[in-house]
Amino acid sequence: MLKPMTEVNESNLANEPGPAHQPNLAVRRRGCAAPSLHSTGMTLVEVLVALVVISVGLLGIAALQITSLRNSQESFLRTQATALADDIIDRMRANRTVALTNGYKIDIGQAITLSGTSSRSDRDLAEWKATLKSGLPQTNDGKDADGSVDVQNNIATVTIQWGQRNSKDDSAMTFTTRTQL
């Protein structure tokens, strides 16, 4: 007959006969739990709950990635607009005398027609406007990216407008910079 389970410490362990004398004796040491008779595997409900939690986490990560890509694209377009504004400002500084007399003044929506006798400022503006149209997206209402230049008291103001790609917002993005010539 088996002895009931008893707590074993180092002192009474030496007095106990070994496993050969008492097979199948369950011994419990201090701090150890008794063996469980229940299954220790995961249930289907636990697996489904874990799957839902992981799915929600992955959806959050996907939304974060989409937002990051959208912001990256907007940042790229702002960088392009900055470079294009710097381009026309550099052209104006290279032709400073004409720029100070407002020879580079142009408004948004104003077109430039070049001829054989076109001035350097007209060619600069025509090239700049063409680069704006090819380098920045249209607005949602189909207008090409466009820009304006104005000089007042040796201060040049350059404004560039463009559309947002894949956006439901109808408003155009605008970049304005002012610099002294």
8 Å CB contact between 145 and 135: yes
Does residue 15 form part of some domain? no
Does residue 62 form part of some domain? no
The fraction of the chain above a pLDDT of 90, given in percent, is 48
Buried b (16+ CB within 10 A) or exposed e, 148-166: bbebeeeebebbbbbbbee
Does residue 148 form part of some domain? yes
Domains of the chain: total: 1
Does residue 73 form part of some domain? no
Length of the chain: 181
Residue 167 has pLDDT above 90, yes or no: no
Task: List, for residues 115-152, the tens digit of each pLDDT value.
Answer: 888 899 999 999 999 999 998 988 777 888 999 999 99
Average pLDDT over residues 49-78: 92
| pTM for this prediction | 0.64
Whole-number Å distance between alpha carbons of 101 and 94: 14
Whole-number Å distance between alpha carbons of 35 and 102: 92
Measured from the Cβ of residue 140, the count of other Cβ atoms closer than 10 Å reads: 15
Does residue 59 form part of some domain? no
Looking at residue 152, what is its pLDDT?
92
Domain range for 166 is 78-180
Task: List, for residues 7-49, the tens digit of each pLDDT value.
Answer: 555 555 555 555 555 555 455 555 555 555 666 777 888 889 9
Does residue 123 form part of some domain? yes
Does residue 35 form part of some domain? no
Query: What is the Cα Rg of the chain in Å?
Result: 39
Does residue 127 form part of some domain? yes
